[in-house]
Structure 1
Amino acid sequence: MNFNLPKNLNGLTTKQLLESRKKYGLNQVKHDNKNNWYQMLFEILKEPMLLLLIAVAIIYFIVGDYSEAFFMLGAIIAVSGISFYQDNRSKKALEALVKLNEPLSTVIRDSQIIEIPTNEIAVGDLYLTEEGRMINADGEIVYSSDLSVNEASLTGESFSVFKSSESEDNHIYSGTIVVSGLAVIRVNHIGNETKLGKIGQSISEIEEVPSPLQIQITKFVKGMAYIGIAVFLLIFAFSFYKSGSFISSLLSGLTLAMSILPEEIPVAFTTFMALGAWKLRQQGVIIKKSSVVETLGSTTVICTDKTGTITENTMQLKSLYDFKSNQTFDEQQFHSPELSDLIHFAMWSSEPVPFDPMEKTIHKVFEQTQSNDLRNTFKMIHEYPLEGKPPMMTHIFENEAEERIIAAKGAPEAILAVCHHSVEQTKLLRELINSFGSQGYRVLGVAKSNFEGTHFFDKQQDFPFEFLGFTVFYDPPKRDIQAVFDKIYKAGIKVKVITGDNAETTAAIANQAGIVNITPAINGADIVHHNQDELIALSRKTTLFTRMFPEAKLAMVNALKKDGEVVAMLGDGVNDAPALKAAHIGVAMGSKGTEIAKAAAALVITNDDLDKLIVGIAAGRRIYVNIKKAIQYIISIHIPIILTVSLPLFLGWIYPNIFTPIHVIFFELIMGPTCSIVYENEPMEKNTMLQKPRKLTETFLNWKELSISIIQGLVIAAGVLFAYQYSLHLGNNESFTRTMVFTTLIFANIFLSLVNRSFVYSVFDSLKNKNKLFPLVIGITLVLLFSIIYIPVFASFFQVVPIGFSEIAISLFIAAVSVLWFEVYKWIKRVKSK
């Protein structure tokens, strides 16, 4: 911020700051920490899988099988440890995102204006704020300029309240928004002592609504849990009827229940979303809610502003048109005396402390070309903020001699509407506006007025204005922006430009940027007269929406959503907040965006580069595809475990308890990291960004995908049970048969994890996608397998025996056949798609 402030505002000294900090602490609302490590651990121990393990451990202790009991205790520690690590990793990633997204605040300390993290605001600080900023502490106004504040967060009233140091209520409150002007506030209360803090409505305490995918996954896991309970009771009853042994039957039932419960899925979902959000942050995309990552991949429409998003936001003053002389002056002629009035009133109509790029340029040109600078002698006594359709703004200044300056600027149509011209003059001026616009220039009209009274008009449009001329700006498209839009279109995503600029300028810039547009632009004033169905029809065929105001932006976003589109809305101003909030993905700009835009948005692009949104969409697609792969892998590998545990019992085979809880928990321990850590790290498949976006309402596994996973699981189960029968056919005992079955299933698990890296491309193509975690996890799994088989103490514990090379080769062959058949299916699928 570039504040021009009174000289007597010095702020806290370093010594005073330390005393204040010691007495009042940091500016943060303290609330019950629901994520303490012991609470996280308690939540993990309530998980059904951990409860089953605890039950099995207790049973082993009761019957005196202490080695099995201690193994189960070790498994409880391992499973809870993995879950705790994943939960804590997700929590830390999200905490880091929250911290990185925290806005900076401006204060005066030791007579210097500095920016600090918001939580470092101290009682006694002189806190500076301006239009578009959210207030982050309670205090009283010591200096202000045309300050108006929206206090809806505290009062529920949506209208703005004008305040100053002399007003009856000269206090400002945390959580409110500066709608116009600027202010210096002496901070009285921070953190819990603010009005908002006392109400206790910290943003961090608002419960996050589950995403569609989250809801679907929760339903699926709950359904499997209910099936697990039913099967547990069935197996327990059947086994007890057959054997009459209560403990043995209970263990059989618990073993099957453990094999059915897919507890890895919720852990995988949380990990994928949190780490996906964290990785995006490293690429300059701040995700405020991890579930947004999922929605990003479904984006079907990007609604983008023009200025600063498509263009450089440099706002070079290209030309000045003087109405009196009817001449257009280029940059080299700005010193011409004919332009003195136009430049002066363009400056006076701008904010005294400019933050808009065009206003900064106007002030700069004024300083470079005009010698008579009266800014320090005139004080703004009234301001009409930017409003109207199209918009304009008016400033009224006065000096001690009560001389007055009334200056207005705004959309050329708005300024021409309040000035009196002949029909012929109006026609010529409109042709001039169109000519500038067709070259991609942005035009502002400038006017002045004389008014002697003290009771100002309610509306600025009621002043008698004299037209002075046009300021003509050029904001060129960003370098490589055409390549960005090319990526967007190839990804099957539509583009809508929603801007406050006029139709001619927008069309010219859109054409230069490579935006596909074959229909005329629609103005915001025309949109409000349409009903919902008409707006939907407009949204389908129109690309450029110009002279848009907040209600019109919101109407278009809602129409697109109603039409089934998944909308990403880009915005940076106070006026964009409603549309940002309404869109599926509100996207704010990190550099030029106002704090209220960032607060309303779900995603912030730190460097204002539209290409980063494409990075986010690609990440969303990658994560969604990978979580589906992980879930399909979990379903497929659970089926052979379930059937190997249950079928020998139901069919009365000679060794009904081929797997015990120990074997099942071992499988769980190697499956968990595979699905949640390894698949999360899987890179994006080629051509992912050349496919159409998926529908947001689409279930995470449709029947075709689910049936493929079930078939994969059944074929693996057939292979494992074949290994069982083959071993029996050779006359092997229970331990030898168990070893064959156990080894076959481990090999099948490894093959499946590799095959399911892609449901389109071959396993050899997938191996080209580097994922260093795959060889690591596979290597650990093989080391554990051979340790269990060939190290006597482990073999005895797992009730297996060493087997020869030929048996290992047979198990490997059976596993390969039962999994790699899917490569033939993928090959046929690729041939058909060509």
Structure 2
Amino acid sequence: MNAPDASPRALESLSNAEAARRLSADGPNELPGQGPRSLAGIVREVLTEPMFLLLIAAASIYVILGDVREATILAASIVVVVGITVLQERRTEQALSKLRDLSSPRALVIRDGVEQRIAGRDVVVGDLVLLREGDRVPADAVMLDATALSVDESILTGESLPVEKLPSDTDEHGHVYSGSLVVQGYGSARVVATGARTEIGKIGGVLKTLEAETTALFGEVHRLVRWIATAALILCAAIAVIYSLSRHDWLAGVLAGITVAMSVLPEEFPLVLTVFLAMGAWRISRVGVLTRRLPALESIGAATILAVDKTGTLTENRMRVVAIETRTDRIEMQAGASITDAPQQVLGIALAASERAPFDPMEKAIHTAAQSFASPAVEQLRGMDLIREYDLTPELLAVTHVWKAAKEDRAYVAVKGAPETVMELCHLASSERAELMKRVSANAERGLRILGVAQGMTSSDTLPESPRGFELQFLGFVCLADPLRGDVPATLAECKQAGIRVVMITGDHPGTALAIATQAGFDVGAGVLTGAEVETLDDETLRRRARDVNIYARSKPEHKLRLVQAFKADGNEVVMTGDGVNDAPALKAAHVGVAMGGRGTDVAREAASLVLVDDDFKSLVAAVRLGRRIYTNIRHAMSYIVSVHIPIAGMGLLPVLLGWPLLLFPVHVLFLEFVIDPACAFVFEADPESEDVMKRPPRPREEPLFSYDMLKRSIGLGTCVMIWTVCIYGAALQWLDDSSARALVFVSLVFANVALIFVSRSRSGSVRAIARRHNNIFWIMAALACVALALVIYIPAIAAVFRFTPPQWQMIMAVALATVVLVLVTGRWLRVSPPAPATHDAARS
């Protein structure tokens, strides 16, 4: 085995320029599979939407009727609408394609002599790849260096047992294959094949893409769309028959039926979900959270419990050795200080029990401290070979390394780990162990992380299968500090105000966990529940205990899974963070699994719905806030869609039933759609969150999007507008000609549309409160709608297409003003009562 300084960095690595050249020549490291939709495919899907089929049918009828001008206008409108829709679909597809890239493994490579974390698709032949426990192998490679490295190749071979890997290029043990999983150890390898040229590519392996998931929200909207679309087709046929029988004009009857169907079809519903979630993924990425599964954006806003790790999430993950304790003394580690032989020995043995190329912050801290305070031990270690590693396991929370000098028969044993485990390996008397544990508890109460250190000596020819077989001497403790993030107390208070309960689940000592929790502002009145205690509780008892306990210490991955299940069984919406291979079951079990981007493994990221780029608790809470905003804005947009379609459909239907001249033709509905679609896609999506978004209780998971209160308000608004426009049309027909009456009512419909957008942006806020919410897109859209309305009324050529004759401008202004006042007053009258302030009890219920 190489000496400790034989780092992969010493091996030749590609330059960034050469890697870019090879990527361009060989193509991305991707397996054959389903890529993003092509432009032609998107156009084909758009043209088969019911709305566009109805427009094409209407244009065809105008051709049959000999009205070429009307047919041409509709055809041109179809081209514009298709262009806008295709552009939006294309942008959404590009966003989803970027999210899909997150499903591929992330690779740690060395280029220009520097470690870089890159997307798996950017790996090229010749890259020097570093492999660590939990990583997916990004490409086929030959091992250059390996330490206790085992790989799960079941994705390729079907064999469930891990395969040990060794530095060799002559047999299977010296090769690793794309898609396989590192389950133990670490090493480095040189890439020899990428993409379709890998072994999994040759046998037709397909790259996993983002799975299409159906949530309650998606299911509810899709069912509603199907129901309304069916009703629209039935209504279309009924209107066509009624009109034709009463007025003896079949083509005009079909045209009237198509107009009504166009006004009823809710094509905006799926548009809202697609655009809002795609844009939500972009917005949430700006606060350091990547979205791997879009439905998670819907769920995270309803979170009632955030189950988070301590290290790196609540703390800065910048470990520092602050003290060394021998069996008799304590030495504070201060810059420039010199320490005696005994604490140097403790630090040196801790270094020998650490990885040679440290990745864990705790081991990095030990390396740094050893370089500063125990340089003789560092030099001594450089002249020795690591001949055996015993890794930390759930059953034995300690790492053991066996070292041997070149000309010595004896081997040296170095152990570090949980203090109670190391004391057990040293077979200390119970009285001595109790005294030492008092010191552990005292350090833990100060928020320090404590590692026990022991050493031994043995013959290198008779190494036992377990560290329990060594004769070990207990040396002392290494005390490490990881400061709390400065913004955690304020963020935790924000969660409490929002009715969200935060629980800490950590592998640390109970005292350490309790000290950090107290500093952060957790409610620690119910004490700490350890992993060992969790194992003794049945599911019902654990569920009851989990209602009150917020701090969980010495927790293993299986304990996390049981805790998630207990929280869910108590009716909570659970968001769970994790970083290790064994955290994957808990991440999948949670409603929203959140993987650590900085220290997390690929397996954890694949199991998670969201990825925290910087592992920061504040970013996670910001994602919850954005999730609430996204859901609220979706609900506001859906409320507007329901409201606005009622008067449009009513004014397409009632004139037929009342024997009046037709008010709306396809071109009118198309104009209104040019107002409705941008409002749905941009105005509501851009609406900022209200000031009380994190003061409300989480919404119940079972709460439907189209709740009774929401439908009552939406239908009430739409019905009032419809009655108002019917009255205007009836009165106008008594005083004006058909085309002037039609223009006057159309003015009312457009201004009602804009006013509905305004009042639908809040369920309960006053007009003044809504106006104060900064949304430039609304005012731009409203101005454009007014300008377009003026053009279609006052420019003769356009007015002729719309069958308009301009009424007096005083009449237009009066109707517009009265319509806006009516909608604002009705919206205020039909307001929804604001939710009660958030409490944990309210959230749980």
Return the offset for 1:106: 4.0
- 2:57 matched to 1:50? no
**TM-aligned CA deviation for residue 808 of structure 1:** 0.8
Residue 184 of structure 2 is aligned to residue 180 of structure 1: yes
Contact persistence 1:343–1:362 (CA under 8 A): yes
2:219 matched residue in structure 1: 215
State whether structure 2 residue 380 is matched by structure 1 residue 374: yes
Query: Does the 8 Å CA contact 1:416/1:467 hold for their aligned counterparts?
Result: yes
Structure 1 vs Structure 2: percent identity of aligned residues?
Answer: 34
- 1:6 Cα offset (Å): 6.8
Task: Confirm or deny that 1:558 pairs with 2:562.
Answer: no
Please give the residue correspondences for 1:385-404 in structure 2 after superposition, counting only pairs within 5 Å.
Answer: 385-389=391-395, 391-401=397-407, 402-404=409-411
1:447 aligned onto 2:454? yes
Q: Is the 8 A contact 1:757 1:763 kept in 2?
A: no
Residue 343 of structure 2 corresponds to residue 336 of structure 1: no
Range that drifts further, 154-163 or 210-219: 154-163
Q: Match for 1:379: what amino acid?
A: D
- 1:322–1:468 CA contact under 8 A, matched in 2: yes
- Whole-angstrom CA distance in 1 between matches of 2:274 and 2:115: 42
Contact map agreement 2:9 2:110 (CA 8 A) in 1: no
Q: Secondary structure at the match of 2:97?
A: helix
Structure 1 position 452, deviation (Å): 2.4
Q: 1:224 to 1:334 in 2, by over 3 A?
A: farther
Deviations for 1:658-703, whole angstroms, at most 9, x for unmatched residues? 2112212221221111111111111111201100111233211112
Report the secondary structure of 1:374's partner residue. helix
Deviations 1:736-759 (A, max 9, x none): 221121111111111111111111
Residue of 529, 544, 548 corresponding to 1:541: 548
Checking the alignment, whether the CA contact within 8 Å between 1:761 and 1:826 is kept in structure 2 is no
- Equivalent residue runs for 1:347-386 within 5 Å: 347-370=351-374, 371-372=376-377, 373-386=379-392
* Correspondence for 1:792: 796
Distance 1:521 1:392 in 2: 23
Residue 323 of structure 2 is aligned to residue 319 of structure 1: yes
Query: Structure 1 stretches of 5 or more lacking a match?
Result: none
Could you tell me whether the CA contact under 8 Å between 2:36 and 2:97 is conserved in 1? no
Matches within 5 A, 1:46-445: 46-98=48-100, 105-108=107-110, 117-155=119-157, 159-165=161-167, 168-198=172-202, 200-323=204-327, 326-332=328-334, 335-370=339-374, 371-372=376-377, 373-389=379-395, 391-401=397-407, 402-445=409-452
Instruction: Return the letter of the residue paired with 2:544.
Output: A
In 2, the alpha carbon distance for the partners of 1:210 and 1:242 equals: 46
Change in Cα spacing, 1:201 to 1:83, as seen in structure 2 (3 Å) is: farther
Shift of 1:142: 2.3
- Decide which moves more: 333-342 or 55-64: 333-342
- Among 585, 591, 598, which residue is 2:598 paired with? 591
When residues 468 and 156 of structure 1 are mapped into structure 2, their CA distance, relative to the original with a 3 A threshold, is farther
Partner amino acid for 1:399? A
What's the secondary structure of 1:26's corresponding residue?
coil
Q: Secondary structure at the match of 2:600?
A: coil
Q: After superposing the two structures, state which structure 1 stretch, 809-818 or 8-17, moved more.
A: 8-17
Shift of 1:62: 1.7
Deviation at 1:322, TM superposition (A): 1.0
Q: Within the alignment, does 1:31 sit opposite 2:33 as a pair? A: yes
1:117 Cα offset (Å): 4.7
The residue number in structure 2 matching 1:710 is 715
Is 1:487 paired with 2:494?
Answer: yes
Matched, 1:663 2:654: no
CA pair 209-741 structure 1, distance change in 2 beyond 3 A: same
The alpha-carbon distance between structure 1 residues 200 and 538, as it changes in their structure 2 partners (threshold 3 A), is farther
Counterpart in the other structure of 1:460: 467
CA 1:193–1:773: 2 relative to 1, 3 Å: same
Tell me how far 1:503 sits from its aligned partner. 0.7
Tell me the residue number matched to 1:642.
649
Conserved in 1, the CA contact under 8 Å of 2:100 and 2:209? Answer: no
Task: State the alpha-carbon separation in 2 of the partners of residues 238 and 200 from structure 1.
Answer: 58
Of stretches 263-272 and 808-817 in structure 1, the one that deviates more from structure 2 is 808-817
User: Which of 607, 626, 631 is residue 633 of structure 2 equivalent to?
Assistant: 626
Q: Which residue of 2 aligns with 1:10?
A: 12
Judge conservation of contact 1:539–1:556 (CA < 8 Å) in 2. yes
The answer to whether the 8 A contact 1:349-1:394 is kept is: yes
- The offset of 1:159, in angstroms, is 4.9
Distance 1:823 1:416, change over 3 A: same
Report if aligned partners of 2:309, 2:504 keep a CA contact under 8 Å in 1: yes
Q: Contact 2:628/2:693 (CA < 8 Å) preserved in 1?
A: yes
Q: Secondary structure at the match of 1:169?
A: helix
Deviation at 1:514, TM superposition (A): 0.9
Aligned counterparts, 1:557-576, within 5 A: 557-576=564-583
Q: In structure 2, do the counterparts of structure 1 residues 616 and 503 end up closer, same or farther at CA, with 3 Å as the change threshold?
A: same
Q: CA deviation at 1:11?
A: 4.4
Residues 717 and 827 in structure 2, CA contact (< 8 A), matched pair in contact too = no
Distance 1:830 1:501 in 2: 42
How far residue 202 of structure 1 moved from its aligned partner, in angstroms, is 4.3
Structure 2: how far apart are the matches of 1:406 and 1:826? 76
Report the 3-state secondary structure (helix = DSSP H, G, I; strand = E; otherwise coil) of the residue aligned with 2:186.
strand
Q: Deviations over 1:692-729 (max 9, x none)?
A: 11123321111221121111111000000010111133
Structure 1 residues 559 and 152, CA gap change in structure 2 (3 angstroms): farther
Deviations 1:613-666 (A, max 9, x none): 121111111111111111111110100111111122123x332x2211221222
Q: Give how far 1:125 is off.
A: 3.2
Q: 2:515 aligns with which of 508, 519, 529?
A: 508
1:314 CA displacement: 2.0
Q: CA RMSD in A?
A: 2.6
Task: Give deviations 1:355-375, integer Å, cap 9, x for gaps.
Answer: 112211222222223324222
> What residue is the counterpart of 1:691 in the other structure?
696
Structure 2 runs not aligned, ≥5 long: 839-845
Contact kept in structure 2, 1:635 and 1:709, CA below 8 Å: yes
Residue type matched to 2:762 in 1?
Answer: S
Structure 1 residue 442 displacement after superposition:
1.0
Aligned with 1:148: secondary structure? strand
Report deviation, 1:131. 2.9
**Deviation digits for residues 504-552 of structure 1 (CA, Å, limit 9, x no counterpart):** 1100110001112211211112223333322322221211111111111
Match of 2:842 in 1: none
Distance 1:113 1:799, change over 3 A: closer
Query: 1:151·1:157 contact (CA, 8 Å) conserved in 2?
Result: yes
Instruction: Name 1:526's counterpart in structure 2.
Output: 533
Letter in 1 for 2:386: M
Of stretches 755-764 and 205-214 in structure 1, the one that deviates more from structure 2 is 205-214
CA apart distance, 1:201: 4.7
Q: CA deviation at 1:816?
A: 2.7
Report Cα offsets for 1:127-184 as digits up to 9, x if no partner: 2222333210112212212212233443455554321125753211112222333222
Distance 2:664 2:16 in 1: 69
| Alpha-carbon contact 2:5-2:382 (below 8 Å) kept | no
Deviates more, 1:633-642 or 1:395-404: 395-404
Indicate conservation of the 8 Å contact 2:30/2:207, yes or no.
no
- Distance in 2, Cα, partners of 1:474 & 1:582: 32
1:354–1:830 distance in 2 versus 1, CA, 3 Å = closer
Aligned to 1:654: 660
| SS of aligned partner of 2:714 | helix
